[in-house]
Chains A and B, each alone.
Chain A
Amino acid sequence: EAGVAQSPRYKIIEKRQSVAFWCNPISGHATLYWYQQILGQGPKLLIQFQNNGVVDDSQLPKDRFSAERLKGVDSTLKIQPAKLEDSAVYLCASSLSGYGYTFGSGTRLTVV
């Protein structure tokens, strides 16, 4: 079974620039999550999708972050404009009916 694919692995941008991350979940997994992990902390949920609908985006800074999940499969997370405090690893995860969460390798974002 293929895992959760994320790209790019690393990204360095200047503050106020925009950036986008891509995630392809495990085939058949209806639920997709984006987490932000700041160095030295536990992952924090940004947004949860069920198929292509948003279930929970209460922790997403909507003034600069946006996410979509087209056709209930792939998802993109965008930051515009980026701030220094957005430097983190962005993890994508998927699950089947809320059991068996599988995480991707993550995208490490550095904002300078």
Chain B
Amino acid sequence: TQLLEQSPQFLSIQEGENLTVYCNSSSVFSSLQWYRQEPGEGPVLLVTVVTGGEVKKLKRLTFQFGDARKDSSLHITAAQTGDTGLYLCADLTTSGTYKYIFGTGTRLKVLA
């Protein structure tokens, strides 16, 4: 069974700081996705990466996919209070049926 481990588990920073969170898989990713979940809401898709070594940018967010497709990072530049939330990585596993599994999550709090 594939396991997705995220680190750190919690992160509290000041507005304007930079940060990086990580997602590591026990097996090769099929189709890695990053989601952000705000309190009281469901997760919302940020990005999908499929190619090893791929880098995608979404405004101040930079997503990197490891060459071996077993790890990924999310870097936020000049964090804002609006970035506060739970960041989740997910993979589409095809063991048996298509099924999305999620990582343990990184809870980010950006302080004004």
**Does B bind A?**
no
